[in-house]
């Protein structure tokens, strides 16, 4: 009875501390459920001890990928990961046992390969690898994210015990040959597979020109090779560095496949027998302070593209990134032009990517139900119609995709591609540096693009290429592109054979189709406040409409800074070093966000 007479205010005072504690307890419980810290040292991996950490790291990765919302923690230092099968692949490639180009054997669909650390299926995973380097031994895919979501990778550096590229100094010039002395650790022999070479000027910190496919080579002393051929001799000078590549495409250093919401912070890739990062069929990819650069004292990072993204969605973002020494583009963002190979029913067709070209992950490309596919005229790469996917089936063995659709296809399907317009992610490339590499820097084949506050220097190809490339089955034509506040210095060194498009050193808007006379494939492009130093031309505009070029500065351009062809509504004004180009109808400015 006495308890019943306690006043309501007293009850409130008594209950308040208890009620206040409930949210805190719930928060702590929730935090306990959300995160489990998995320390690789607890599995036996000890940094800097020089011992093989493979089994320990793989056990830790297995635990991390199967634990929701986990943190995989690496104590700072260097680790070793070796796989005998990967070593066997590497040694067979170096010895020429996989043919003149190992890519043709290794980089094909349905080919078994080695994964270093496999995070397939991870959900909510954070990998804390700040100040951590893993030395991989053998050609493999070091880090694999397949069917993951909400993943963050912090701080990892990827390098190799035996890198897929080498370098030496030119010590003698003959009439049709050069002699090159390689450092002792390179272990060069007559039998070493070398697919192509490039020359590097140490004083200018720049590649000299186009890649060279030499005639022959032979050893003349320990770690001294003689290379024959006019191409290599013409670029050679005593003291210059000769760079060799012993492979082209293979597995990437990091695969991002069917993954949603992934962030890479402070990741460095020093070497890879293939591309640095490949993203395929994924959504929302962020790279902050990514570095694809050679290790100290070397000149090549990845053997081919630093990064490559195909058939993704949402956004792809680069901020404060650095690229140097890669054997191909810094990034390429696109989807695929697929051949229509059969039509079993009125609303059913089958697509195929071709015998020569396949996906860059080597996994099957596929749409999603509800996706809009453009019908693309092969002769021009023009969009002439659209269908919507209602169902699809993949046949990886035959590399076919069977699509049930709503809409109409032309009767002569052999004259058309299909391209997935629902897989055109926005692209942001900001505050970044690109220097001294082969081919182009940023390839744009998507919609809603911002490239700003970045520098491009000493590239063999055009720095920024807004393209649609039927020869590579890569599209689509771009729309709503802004390129501003960038500096381009000494780009386009390699000419047509090494990625320079229409003689443009800085920016080329281009369509690679049998018929290149069609204007208006690329739409709404703004190029402003950029500085270009060097080149035959600075900007070329082909196959476009609604292009505005303003407030740019051109220095040391050999011919016309701005060249326009097969385009309409192009306006250039208030540029330093270039004549104005007038348009009767003012171009439409890009629609961005």
pLDDT at 28: 39
Residue with more model confidence, 536 or 591: 536
CA geometry: angle at 417 spanning 415 and 419, to 5°? Answer: 165
Q: Which fold has domain 336-420?
A: Thrombin, subunit H (2.40.10)
Residue 354 confidence (pLDDT): 80
* The predicted structure's pLDDT at residue 22: 39
Has residue 407 got a pLDDT over 50? yes
pLDDT of residue 25: 35
Q: What is the CATH number of domain 37-162+249-324?
A: 2.160.20
Confidence of residue 57 (pLDDT cuts 50, 70, 90): very high
**Predicted confidence (pLDDT) at residue 30 exceeds the cutoff of 50:** no
CATH for 165-245? 2.40.10.170
User: Environment class of residue 582 by beta-carbon count within 10 Å: exposed (0-12), middle (13-18) or buried (19+)?
Assistant: exposed
pLDDT digits (tens, 9 = 90+) for 176-231: 999 999 999 998 988 899 999 999 999 999 999 889 889 999 999 999 999 999 98
Query: Rounded CA gap, 427 and 483, in Å?
Result: 11
What is the reported pLDDT for 13? 35
Average pLDDT value for the chain: 94
Quote the CA–CA distance of 251 and 275 in Å, as a whole number: 7
Region 409-431: mean pLDDT is: 99
Q: Residue 468: what are its φ and ψ, rounded to 5°? A: -140, 120
**Span 106-135, pLDDT tens digits:** 999 989 999 999 999 999 999 999 999 999
Tens digits of residue pLDDT in 351-392: 999 877 789 999 999 999 999 999 999 999 999 999 999 999
Q: pTM of the prediction?
A: 0.93
Task: Output the pLDDT for position 34.
Answer: 58
Tell me the pLDDT tens digit for each residue of 433-473. 999 999 999 999 999 999 999 999 999 999 999 999 999 99
For 512-564, the pLDDT digits (tens) are: 999 999 999 999 999 999 999 999 999 999 999 999 999 999 999 999 999 99
- The answer to whether domain 165-245 and domain 336-420 are alike in fold is yes
Cβ–Cβ under 8 Å, residues 326 and 437: yes
List, for residues 313-346, the tens digit of each pLDDT value. 999 999 999 999 999 999 999 999 999 999 999 9
Determine the Cα–Cα distance for residues 52 and 132; give it in Å rounded to an integer: 15
Nearest to 265 by CA among 247, 250, 286, 249: 286
Domain ranges of the chain: 3-34, 37-162+249-324, 165-245, 336-420, 435-573
SS (H, E, C) 256-317: EECCEEEEEECCEECCECCCCEEEECCEEEEEECCEECCCCCCCCCECCCCEEEECCEEEEE
More confident residue, 33 or 298: 298
Q: What pLDDT does residue 33 have?
A: 54
pLDDT at 300 exceeding the cut of 90: yes
Predicted confidence (pLDDT) per residue in 58-114, tens digit: 999 999 999 999 999 999 999 999 999 999 999 999 999 999 999 999 999 989 999
Q: Is the pLDDT of residue 9 over 70?
A: no
Taking 80 as the threshold, does the pLDDT of residue 426 lie above it? yes
pLDDT (0 to 100) of residue 492: 97
């Amino acid at each position: 009875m006495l308890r019943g007479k306690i006043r309501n205010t007293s009850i409130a005072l008594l209950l308040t501390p208890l009620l206040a504690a409930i949210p805190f307890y719930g928060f702590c419980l929730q935090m306990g459920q959300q995160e489990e810290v998995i320390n690789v040292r607890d599995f036996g991996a000890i940094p800097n001890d020089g011992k093989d950490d493979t089994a320990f790291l793989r056990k830790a990765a297995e635990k991390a990928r199967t634990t929701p919302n986990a943190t995989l923690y690496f104590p700072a230092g260097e680790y070793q990961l070796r796989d005998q099968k990967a070593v066997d692949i590497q040694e067979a490639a170096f010895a020429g046992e996989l043919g003149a180009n190992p890519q043709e054997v290794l980089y094909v669909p349905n080919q078994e390969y080695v994964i270093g650390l496999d995070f397939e299926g991870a959900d909510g995973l954070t990998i804390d690898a700040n100040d951590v380097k893993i030395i991989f031994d053998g050609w493999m895919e070091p880090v694999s994210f397949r069917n993951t979501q909400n993943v963050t990778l912090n701080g990892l550096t990827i390098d190799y015990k035996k890198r897929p590229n080498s370098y030496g100094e030119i010590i003698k010039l003959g009439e049709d040959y050069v002699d090159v002395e390689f450092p002792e650790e390179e272990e060069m022999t007559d039998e070493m597979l070398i697919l192509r070479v490039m020359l590097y000027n140490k004083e200018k910190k720049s590649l000299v020109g186009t890649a060279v496919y030499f005639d022959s080579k032979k050893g003349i002393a320990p770690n001294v090779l003689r290379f024959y051929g006019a191409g290599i001799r013409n670029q050679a000078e005593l003291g210059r560095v000769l760079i060799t590549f012993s492979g082209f495409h293979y597995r990437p250093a990091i695969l991002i496949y069917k993954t949603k919401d992934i962030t890479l912070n402070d990741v460095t890739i020093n070497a890879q027998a293939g591309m640095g990062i490949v993203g395929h069929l994924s959504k929302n990819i962020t790279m902050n302070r990514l570095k694809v650069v050679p290790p100290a004292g070397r000149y090549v990072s990845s053997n081919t593209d630093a990064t490559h993204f195909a058939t993704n969605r949402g956004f792809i973002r680069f901020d404060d990134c650095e690229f140097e020494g890669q054997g191909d583009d810094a990034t390429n963002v696109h989807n695929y032009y697929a051949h229509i190979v059969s039509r079993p029913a009125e609303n059913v067709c089958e697509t195929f990517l071709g015998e020569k070209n396949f996906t860059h992950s080597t996994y099957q490309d596929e749409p999603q139900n509800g996706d809009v596919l453009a019908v693309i005229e092969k002769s021009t790469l023009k969009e002439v119609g659209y269908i919507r996917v209602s169902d699809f089936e993949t046949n990886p063995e035959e590399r076919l995709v069977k699509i049930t659709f709503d809409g109409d296809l032309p009767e002569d399907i052999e004259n058309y591609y299909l391209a997935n317009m629902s897989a055109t992610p926005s692209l942001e490339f900001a505050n970044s540096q690109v220097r001294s590499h082969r081919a182009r820097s940023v390839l744009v084949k998507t919609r809603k693009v911002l490239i700003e506050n970045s520098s491009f220097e000493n590239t063999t190809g055009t720095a920024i290429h807004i393209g649609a490339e039927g020869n590579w089955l890569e599209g689509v034509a771009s729309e709503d592109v802004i390129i501003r506040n960038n500096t381009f210095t000494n780009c386009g060194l390699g000419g047509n054979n090494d990625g320079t498009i229409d003689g443009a050193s800085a920016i080329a808007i281009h369509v690679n189709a049998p018929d290149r006379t069609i204007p208006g494939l690329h739409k709404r492009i703004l190029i402003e406040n950029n500085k270009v130093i060097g080149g035959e031309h600075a900007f070329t505009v082909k196959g476009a409409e609604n292009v505005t070029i303003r407030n740019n500065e051109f220095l040391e351009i050999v011919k016309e800074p701005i060249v326009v062809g097969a385009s309409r509504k192009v306006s250039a004004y208030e540029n330093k070093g270039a004549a104005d180009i007038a348009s009767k109808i003012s171009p439409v400015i890009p629609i961005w966000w």
